[in-house]
Amino acid sequence: MFKWLTDAVRALISGLWRPEVPDEHAPEVKEAPPSPPVYFERCEVVAKTPANASVRERQFISVVYQNEPLWSMFRCPCGCGEVISLPMKRPHNPRWRLALTDASRPTLYPSVWRNKGCMSHFWIKDGRVYWTRDTGTEPWVARPGLYSKRV
């Protein structure tokens, strides 16, 4: 006879039913910041390392020889014009790993932090450039516990 009442009490106790919270007491929901625009539309795979002068702005190149990724190359996205060449193979340390999305856009790991010139520090994910707060600062100044100045 009172089965519906016992079911309601069980639901209340087990936490399945929660009363609505009035709007003024609702927790603030923060939206994720919008993703930056795609900077590298696709990754071009080549078998021979191109000359720095031939690397175009917003062009991402992966040098692969006999199915071995050797280098990733692109111009610095800060606009300084410098070509960045990142090793992808041992014995280099550090070395980067490259993954391509379904749209052939690059994702690099770890981040890129130039230790000369513009000192840009950024991540590349899905062809988008995500800038870090310490970009423009020398790595050994921003994070002395991790980096030391090279002489």
Q: What is the DSSP letter of 87?
A: E
pLDDT in tens, the chain (151 residues): 566 666 666 665 555 555 555 556 666 777 878 899 999 999 999 999 999 999 999 999 999 999 999 999 999 999 999 999 999 998 888 899 999 999 999 999 999 999 899 999 999 999 999 999 988 888 888 888 887 777 6
Predicted confidence (pLDDT) per residue in 5-21, tens digit: 666 666 655 555 555 55
Please enumerate in sequence order all residues whose Cβ is within 8 A of that of 140, keeping only pairs 6 or more positions apart, or say none: 115, 147, 148, 149
Strands 43-46 and 60-65: parallel
